[in-house]
Amino acid sequence: MQPILIIYTGGTIGMRTSSEGYQPCDGIQTLIESSLSMAALAQLQPYQVHEFDNLIDSSNALPSNWLEIAQCIKDHYQQYSAFIVLHGTDTMAYTAAALHHLLGENIKPVIVTGSQIPMCEARSDASSNLLEAALFARSGKVAQVCISFAGKLLAGNSAKKVHTSAMAAFDSLNRPPLALANIALDFSQNTVTMSNAKTDKSFEFPSLQEKSVAVIFLYPGINDSVINAAFLDSQTTAVVMLSYGAGNPPDQNLCLIKALESAQQRNIPVINITQCYSGSVSQGTYAVGSVLNKFGVISAGNRTLEDVVTSLYIKD
């Protein structure tokens, strides 16, 4: 049996307390060996660990970190059966979506996980999250990038961090979980199964340097300067606009209308996402939204912010 590669990038899972609060700490292999029960370690075997030199709190993650993880998977793709990425929870959904865009589907399992409580602490959820990630990775039923957290396996491009402190910190509100770690692993129908996975896949990654994605959250009373900073900055290559309800903007805001017109003239894509937690954009159902169709704004449908932002960095 080929081993699993556990890629440790930082995050609470391996953190320890300092005078300034939790901070990333090296030595995850020793921590795993001392924290998991014998039975859990036996289930994890065979595995190897690749620890990044620059361990981060994922709040500091950059697009270059997504590429670093993808490159690590590419470099080790032949030698391992699956990849578990240990990551901070704060931007885990961005990284999982980015890896989905970079690596595609029909690949060996790439399962991103972490924990709400550090592995070194008594009530930690780290061991169960790691073990469940390994069980999903070895199930033979996963051939894509996923997040495994608190018993749920979620598609990497539709997950979200939904709670700051609950153990069940992740959900995918517009798509049911791919599987649940109940007494058995219960899979739904919509996983990409391993029988289609390419074991000799060659990956090509784009350069992300020249991209600058602006995100603007509309709210009553929004200033012109906030709108202009997002839409008119010369660096901006795409704008993600979080609008109200079914994708509705304030069409009486003349600054916004001018900014949308300018973006269209400069070929800057504008993607319209709802501020609602779930459901889909239906652009133009209301008259206020029809202006978006006029200026070529793209509806995000039911995609998450994380999915849209990362795809704008990665795809042309």
In the bound complex, what is the minimum distance in angstroms from residue 69's beta carbon to ligand ASP?
14
Residues 6+ apart with CB under 8 A from 249: 218, 241, 243, 256, 272, 288, 289, 291, 292
Report which DSSP code applies to 11.
Answer: S
Say which amino acid occupies 2. Q
Q: Does 11 bind ligand ASP (CB under 6 A)?
A: yes
Q: Which residue is nearest to ligand ASP (CB)?
A: 88
- Given 14, 109, 114, 247, the residue binding ligand ASP (CB under 6 A): 114
233 vs 227: CA distance, rounded Å: 10
What's the CA dihedral at 302, 244, 92, 149 to 10 degrees? Answer: -70
* Residue with smaller CB distance to ligand ASP, 12 or 272: 12
Q: Does 105 bind ligand ASP (CB under 6 A)?
A: no
In the bound complex, what is the minimum distance in angstroms from residue 178's beta carbon to ligand ASP?
22
Tell me the window of 10-18, 141-149, 194-202, 275-283 that interacts with ligand ASP (CB under 6 A). Answer: 10-18
In the bound complex, what is the minimum distance in angstroms from residue 183's beta carbon to ligand ASP?
27
160 vs 289: CA distance, rounded Å: 26
48 vs 62: CA distance, rounded Å: 26
Catalytic member of 12, 91, 274, 310: 12
How many of the chain's residues bind ligand ASP (CB under 6 A)? Answer: 11
Q: Does 88 bind ligand ASP (CB under 6 A)?
A: yes
- Given 31, 90, 263, 314, the residue binding ligand ASP (CB under 6 A): 90
Location of structure tokens 């995100």: 215
Report which DSSP code applies to 62.
Answer: -
12 is catalytic: yes
Q: Does 12 bind ligand ASP (CB under 6 A)?
A: yes
Q: Does 57 bind ligand ASP (CB under 6 A)?
A: yes
DSSP string, 265-315: HTT--EEEEESSSSS---TTSSGGGHHHHHTTPEE-TT--HHHHHHHHHH-
* Residue with smaller CB distance to ligand ASP, 98 or 143: 98
Please report, as ranges, the residues that interact with ligand ASP according to CB under 6 A. Answer: 10-12, 57-59, 88-90, 114, 116
